[in-house]
Amino acid sequence: MCETKDPESGKFNNKALCRLSVVNADNPAEVLLDTLVKPAWPVTNYRTFVNGISESDLEHVQFTLQHAQTFMSALCSSQTVIVGHALDNDLKALLMVHHTNVDTAMLYTYVNSEDGTPSLKNLAKGILGKEMPEVHDSVNDARVTLECAANYVALDGKVSPVEKVYTRSRGAAREDTSNMLLVHRLPKSTLPEHLSEMFSAYTFIKPKEVPEITFSGAQGKVLVEFSSREHAELAYTTLKGEEREDKTGKKQKRVSLQGGGYVCVRKMNRK
């Protein structure tokens, strides 16, 4: 996915499809489709550091979202099982509704943590003993996801939690999350730029990076990265909201939303 912007309304699409890869679950060596996809709106962020796709790569692409939807509609019946990781993001990018799914992000958990669903990179390392490339290859992602799903089935769902070896900071391997804040209970309409604007407006500290938000059901969560541990600490301290501890003993604040309700901003350590 990449980020695009409607030139008329100014609306951003943070999940604009720019590559679609499908492999055959009965024979993962068989690639049913692997193609770049031309977004309808101008691209404002190619996310080349994540997907390896640049402006020049998409310049002459003729395959569109409508072509992708036609292909998926022809391929899938209501009985077809789609296997993916954080599959809700893929379906949103395709603007596709499908009810027969296996999402490996929901099958595994982290060791001693309620921070959210494991990344595919951590599953590959913990379940399969495989290192994932720094830049995503969606064909490889599909095959690794299938292996993780097959492992779950082979063990009849009795799988062990995985270690969190990597965080989602530009694909880099990191164990130190002291310069991050976990923001969760996010409404489905939330985009990364909304969080960046929230911290800038209410704490006067702009995050270094707000990755794509991971949604499960009606709510989402994301690790927001700051330039340093001190910046993250100051941003948390400056935010106004009721503070309490979560089940793991980490402090978090309830930050009220203008339209009602609240989101939670949680520290990554117990201090």
Q: Which CATH number fits domain 2-154: 3.40.50.300, 3.20.20.70, 3.40.50.2000, 3.30.420.10?
A: 3.30.420.10
Which among 49-58, 68-77, 238-247 has the top mean pLDDT?
68-77
Q: Where are the domains of the chain?
A: 2-154, 180-267
CATH code, 180-267: 3.30.70.330
Least confident of 59-73, 105-119, 237-251: 105-119
Same fold, 2-154 and 180-267: no
pLDDT tens across 205-214, in order? 999 999 889 8
SS3 percent helix, strand, coil of the chain, rounded to 5, is: 30, 30, 45
- pLDDT for the residue numbered 112: 76
Could you say which DSSP state residue 125 is in?
Answer: I
Task: Please give the average per-residue pLDDT across 93-100, as a whole number.
Answer: 96
Q: In this model, does residue 23 exceed pLDDT 80? A: yes
The pLDDT confidence band at residue 172, using thresholds 50, 70 and 90, is very low
Share of the chain above pLDDT 90, in %: 73
Stronger pLDDT, 100 or 174, i.e. the higher one: 100
Give me the numbers of helices (H) and strands (E) for the chain, helices first please: 8, 13
pLDDT tens across 236-247, in order? 999 999 999 877
Could you tell me the CA-to-CA distances from 97 to 24, 87, 90, 94, 188 in Å, in that order? 20, 11, 10, 9, 16
Q: Give, for 110, the enclosing helix (H) or strand (E).
A: none
Q: In this model, does residue 137 exceed pLDDT 80? A: yes
- pLDDT for the residue numbered 88: 92
